[in-house]
Amino acid sequence: MPPALLAGNTLVVKPAPTTPIASLKFAELIAGLLPNGVVNFITDANDLGDALTHHPDVRKISFTGSTATGRKVMASAAETLCAFQNSGQVCLAIKRLYVHESIYDEMCNELAQLADAAIVDDGSKQGTQLGPLQNRMQYNKVKAFLEDAKKHGNIVAGGEVMDRPGYFIRPTIVRDITEGSRLVDEEQFGPILPVLKYASTDEVIKRANATTYGLGASVWSSNTDRAHDVAAQLEAGTVWINTHLDMAPHIPFGGAKNSGLGVEFGEFISEFPPRSRL
């Protein structure tokens, strides 16, 4: 938002229909800081997105959501914004973890201990580390992923919904699972981590790239030169080394494959020298 405002634009912000409260609170906080109409917040019942993306006065769209919805946004925007490619699918949590066979058992055990120790409760309570899933639809989707994990892998932590009101699921670690299962091939958007075993670097690079998604990845190694070599071969918009979700406004952010087109953030450096002022 700040870069768009600094460039002299006005904005329309439409949060997801299931998560409007934080955006509306932010709108309340900045209400007296900007002239009327500069930043506009709207909420809907999932029925206004099409009107926005079709509108001829909308010159740029930044979208976060599913690949299927991203395609619809891009298709509707193309009718009036031929030079524009939207960027979206911004959800950078680790979806699958590849671990070398030499440390696989140790890593799975450590992850299981961390998952078992996590405090899952109402987010308003002091000490809570993980809260519930946001809505019933996603809760049901994640439960389906749990059933898939039971069939195709070995659950070593979590694996069950919590016996309490709300959409609570304990963090779940799944080992002895591989590609071909829903949990590995799809984006779960829930607290379930599949841990996959690999034997060689060439093998794991090939397997990591064998997906239609490519938003973010990270490589972890005590040898940073080797990590850089692996990172350069991963088909993802952002690849971190020995860290994850480390973002900054001057670094371009975007996805590869079905995980988005174009980038957000970053500094623009012109190829031409600035014109002298008369």
Q: What does the pLDDT profile of the chain (278 residues) look like in tens digits? A: 787 888 888 888 888 888 889 989 999 998 888 888 899 898 888 888 778 877 777 777 777 766 676 666 655 554 443 622 221 223 678 889 999 999 999 999 999 998 898 888 988 888 888 888 888 988 999 999 999 999 999 999 999 888 999 999 898 999 999 999 999 999 888 889 999 999 999 999 999 999 888 888 999 988 989 999 999 999 998 898 888 877 788 888 887 887 777 777 777 655 555 544 43
- The alpha carbon dihedral of 126, 130, 135, 136 has a sign of negative
The strand pair at 192-198 and 172-175 is best described as: parallel
The predicted pLDDT at position 44 comes to 87
pTM (two decimals): 0.68
**Domains in the chain, please, with CATH?**
2-90+250-264 (3.40.605.10), 97-241 (3.40.309.10)
Q: Is 75 left (phi over 0), alpha (psi -120 to 50) or beta?
A: alpha
Long-range contacts of 215-218 (CB under 8 A, 24+ apart): 215/89, 215/90, 215/91, 215/92, 215/255, 215/256, 215/259, 215/260, 216/92, 216/240, 216/244, 216/245, 216/255, 218/94, 218/242, 218/243, 218/244
So what's the pLDDT on residue 75? 55
Provide the token pair at 100. 């070398």
